[in-house]
Structure 1
Amino acid sequence: MIKVLIVEDDPMVAQLNKRYVECINGFQVIAIACNGEDALRYVKSSTIDLIILDIYMPKMDGVSFLKELRKRSIKIDVILVTAAREAENIDEVLKLGAVDYLIKPFEFERLKHSLDNYLLRHQLLNNKNQIEQEDIDRITNKQEKNSSYPLKKGLHKNTLESIRNFVRNNRKQAVTSEEVAERIGVSRVTARRYLEYLVSIQEVKLEIEYGSTGRPGHLYRDIHG
């Protein structure tokens, strides 16, 4: 479970961000701080994996807070969620190691995309002794060639992302449409339609399993599995 600290001075926005984050599997909001000083005190005494950080705050703003984190060699990942649009701020926090930057107002799907990518990065870097080039490409967003494919009529983006992430997270083993359907909460026919789409855009490979009797089974595996 990814432990999250939200640093946001607007209580309503902080609660909204908390609900957003906890809608996504794998994340738990541990605390909310209303400024950088409070957040700094909290991270010194608690285990945090990820900070959702605003820039415009009293006492200590987000940029100053991030600088202080790095000055103290506190290695916590940070995603900026803020109304700040100044190129200077954006450039500075990216150089300080922010893993993403979301400008308010944003759609939930944009935050979900950011957190899904972060979860994949966290799992790869913490669960493997050696990293392959494909892993690096995936977590640094270098492998975006398939994002330009138009979504096939009748498919929904949210369902597609859920199935795509399930296959990726089980990349060392092939999965069946039945397993995907049960995990995602869709029918087997629906799961197979999405899996076949992922095969068609070369994100997933199809393996045929021939048994002694009956029809051959279809297995699906991440293309880099």
Structure 2
Amino acid sequence: MVIVEDDPMVALLDRTFAEKDTRFQVIQSFQNGQSALDWLLEHQADLLILDVYMPQLTGLELLHALRAEGVQLDAIMVTAANDVQTVDALLKLGVVDYLVKPFTVERFQQALDAFCRHRAAMAGSAVDQDTLDRLFPASSLTGEHTPPKGMQEATLERIRSCLRTAPEQGLPSETLSRQTGLSVVTVRRYVSYLVEHGEAASTVNYDTGGRPCRLYHATQFIHPPAPQANE
């Protein structure tokens, strides 16, 4: 595994989370895309943990350059970039998974597991339908997810509705609690699920005059209203 991340703290998190899994070993780490490109053109690796916003070459430019040179290693994006154009361009380059910062160790592990499933499926000469269905579950193709046991779809939708109308900077869990009539603990559990599935994102507000506050807001993946036909 190769980590390409210009933020030393995030790079350390990537390494720490990855090395908890004995299937992986971090062999190199770079703080800019150009250094990573120079090394990867001369050395072999199986997986990139890749940021987008970096000096010299962005993560998107790095993947384009690698593909142009015929280097087909897999990549997991770990980045703050969640605009539609960037996400779409990277998905078309075949990234294995896409994590929006800040991320949890559980979500990071899911990405590693997805990579391992993909590699195992590609080990033979052909892939049967059952294996393909496990790699591409229907929910991932439709953008929908079945809530885990103990979660209610109606409750998820109440929180989605609040996030859709939240201001651009987002709302804290306490405000979401008041608006939905749910407990703060429940809100945090449900909104964490939405963040893990790309339906919401969170940022940390340090301008509170006290303890930093985590804010949640909708991403482009929260079922936007269908466009109205012109009359």
Aligned to 2:125: 129
Distance change in 2, residues 1:151/1:131 (3 Å): farther
Equivalent in 41, 44, 49 of residue 46 of structure 2: 49
Distance change in 2, residues 1:75/1:150 (3 Å): same
Percent of paired sites with the same residue: 38
2:51, 2:79 within 8 Å by CA — same for their partners in 1? Answer: yes
Q: Following the alignment from structure 1 to structure 2, what is the Cα–Cα distance between the partners of residues 93 and 130?
A: 26
- Spell out, residue by residue over 1:19-56, the C-alpha distance to the aligned partner (whole angstroms, 9 max, x if none): 11111231111110111111111111211011010011
Runs of 4+ in 1 over 6 A off after TM superposition: 143-146
Give the 5 Å matches for 1:64-213. 64-126=61-123, 128-142=124-138, 148-150=147-149
Q: Following the alignment from structure 2 to structure 1, what is the Cα–Cα distance between the partners of residues 41 and 150?
A: 45
Distance change in 2, residues 1:125/1:58 (3 Å): same
- Spell out, residue by residue over 1:92-115, the C-alpha distance to the aligned partner (whole angstroms, 9 max, x if none): 111111111110001111111111
* 1:19 partnered with 2:21: no
1:137, 1:143 within 8 Å by CA — same for their partners in 2? Answer: no
Aligned to 1:210: none
Aligned to 1:160: none
Q: If the length of structure 1 is used for normalisation, what is the TM-score?
A: 0.61
Q: Following the alignment from structure 2 to structure 1, what is the Cα–Cα distance between the partners of residues 86 and 145?
A: 31
Q: Superposition RMSD on alpha carbons, in Å?
A: 2.1
Distance change in 2, residues 1:19/1:6 (3 Å): same
- Spell out, residue by residue over 1:92-139, the C-alpha distance to the aligned partner (whole angstroms, 9 max, x if none): 11111111111000111111111111111111211x233110101111
Q: CA deviation at 1:151?
A: 5.8
Aligned to 2:203: none
Gap runs ≥5 in structure 2: 152-231
Aligned to 1:29: 26
Kindly provide the amino acid, as one letter, of the partner of residue 149 in structure 2: P
- Spell out, residue by residue over 1:181-223, the C-alpha distance to the aligned partner (whole angstroms, 9 max, x if none): xxxxxxxxxxxxxxxxxxxxxxxxxxxxxxxxxxxxxxxxxxx
Q: Tell me which structure has the larger Cα radius of gyration.
A: 1
Distance change in 2, residues 1:119/1:16 (3 Å): same
Distance change in 2, residues 1:114/1:147 (3 Å): farther
2:96, 2:114 within 8 Å by CA — same for their partners in 1? Answer: no
Classify the secondary structure of the residue corresponding to 2:103: coil
Kindly provide the amino acid, as one letter, of the partner of residue 134 in structure 1: D
Q: How many matched pairs?
A: 148
